Amino acid sequence: MQPFRFAVYTNSSDEAYRWTDFARRVEGLGYAALYVTDHLGRQLAPTAALAAAAAVTSTLRIGPYVFANDFRHPLIVAREAATLDRLSGGRLDLGLGAGWKRSDYRQLGMPYDPPGVRIDRLIESLGIIRRLLSGEEVTHAGRFYQLERARVQPAPVQRPHPRIMLGGGGPRMLRVAAREAQIVSFVPQFSASGRPMWRHATEAALAERAMQVRAAAGARFDELELNVFVGDAGVIGDKQPLSASLRALVKSAGPAVLGGSPYLLYGTLDQLRAAMLRRRDRSGVSSYGIPAHAMESFAPLVASLAGR
């Protein structure tokens, strides 16, 4: 059983004008990591933001949550990852995913390939990235990528390479993560239109996915960190109203999501603490990505559970 670990993630530009102060605050509140999502639109670019955060912190781990594989060649990913790990003194968690948000692909003018193709591309990319970060000179002629005598220098601090986090919600992606990652990040499954299917984002579904990861991971399962990407969160008193974002979710997914989804953490501190302890016992989940707007209200929970 892994100890509890909490990260803060940001997916907007709300923190842009006070970014370094924000990073220091995340560290000061006791969070283990600061992650930045990788989407186009109103948010900071991950690599530059993470480098700036690393420069003003000393213990806080950093990482993309997660790099969309289709947006970058694996050599570029490996080079940026090695630099981030070097600049941070070995504090990078390298998050990778197959890409899912249709609007990103539209803005880039890229084809939105079927999930199987995107996952195939990620698998090939991941193999290249791992070899490059491990110090190999890589020549590769594959289905999607070609490299000739490529090398990443300077090398990352962490050996054999920074911890790899793979995010996903479908069975195939979770099998890949179970075999290849050190951190498996569970996200809700998405519909064909690219929208989260909140009605299916239940505790029972998470437990089933964790069992799939256990079966695919085999003997290495106990070494894995199981993480949940928390779509929204809030600590409430009995009479505190719903936030605007949660009101929208309740309208689209129904009120049951508030009490029955591990991806929507909403309740009193005691309720949230009890749910996290039960969830770890049932599913093995010990790690959470908390949205930035909830980091202050979740700080007492972090203080009571982190490292336990």
User: Is a pLDDT exceeding 50 seen at residue 273?
Assistant: yes
Taking CA atoms, 285 is separated from 2, 183, 186, 243, in Å, by 8, 11, 9, 26
pLDDT at 247: 64
Q: pTM of this prediction?
A: 0.93
Tokens of 62: 């950093």
pLDDT for 6-26, tens place per residue? Answer: 999 998 888 878 999 999 999
Averaged over 209-223, what is the pLDDT?
97
Mean pLDDT, rounded, of the chain: 92
Q: Which residue has the tokens 């630099």?
A: 83
* pLDDT for the residue numbered 203: 93
Architecture of domain 5-305 in this structure: Alpha-Beta Barrel (3.20)
From the list 129, 55, 112, the residue with the least C-alpha distance to 86 is 55
pLDDT at 46 over 50: yes
What is the torsion angle, in degrees rounded to the nearest 10, for the CA atoms of residue 272, residue 277, residue 278 and residue 283?
A: 110
